[in-house]
Amino acid sequence: MKIAIDGPAGAGKSTVAKKVAHELGYVYIDTGAMYRALTYKAIQDQVDLHNGEALAALLAKYPVELLVENNQQKVKINHQDVTEYIRTPEISKYVSTVAAQEQVRKTMLMIQRSLAAKGNVIMDGRDIGTNVLPDADLKIFLTATIEERAKRRYQELLTKGYKGSFEEIKQEIASRDKQDQERKYAPLKQAGDAILIDTSKLTIDQVVNHILQLVKEYQEGDKNELI
């Protein structure tokens, strides 16, 4: 079974997808972490973030790996563990520019499809239901108000020693969403056959249970078709 989860920043995609994957014993694929790892490496190597060809070459040269070590989700690029460095405001600021480049998206698409081919997966991002896995068995579009999403991200960053303001985070999220929605290649968009869940007033567990229920309904429907 392939499950696609898309939506804007801070909607709860990765938190929820990780839990659903754990409950079902599926592999979780965080495609945002892949774009973030590439952005980190590009900044480190001083590659022009508007140069799609150079960025795609970087991605071809330095493999991005998603793995689970000691129950922790990790991301590596060129075998370096960059998990701790990719969620900083600096990477958040530049990642959408990198992700807007056509050559980068083409290379990511190939890598992500081959990862998804390995078995039961739940993959989250911006273009999973529309582009990476258009034939996914279940597509979810998670959203929440900008206030709520900014509040969540701000609280998360505070625990990591962040000193900036709530307004800065809100603006960062709003401008990244806008960039992701307006880009030419595979923009952030709800797939026509995706189920919309507004998580503004829901707890993480409520969202997880809702999705598990949808998976169950899908699987029961599949069984009935066989009979």
Residues 68-97 that bind ligand CDP (CB under 6 A): 95-96
Residues 126-155 that bind ligand CDP (CB under 6 A): 126-128, 152-153
Residue of 141, 199, 211, 215 that binds ligand CDP (CB under 6 A)? 199
From 177, 64, 193, 73, select the one nearest 140 (Cα to Cα).
193
Q: Which is nearer to ligand CDP, 142 or 227 (CB)?
A: 142
Angle between helices 31-44 and 102-116 (to 10 degrees): 140
x/- track of binding to ligand CDP for residues 6-45 (CB under 6 A): -x-xxxxxxx---------------xxx-xx---------
From 111, 112, 122, 115, select the one nearest 15 (Cα to Cα).
122
Residue type, 145: T
Q: Does 170 bind ligand CDP (CB under 6 A)?
A: no
Spatial separation of the C-alpha atoms in residues 199 and 19, rounded to whole Å: 15
Q: Which is nearer to ligand CDP, 48 or 222 (CB)?
A: 48
From 99, 43, 39, 37, select the one nearest 63 (Cα to Cα).
37
Q: Which positions lie near ligand CDP, rule CB under 6 A?
A: 7, 9-15, 31-33, 35-36, 95-96, 99, 125-128, 152-153, 156, 176, 180, 199, 202-204, 207
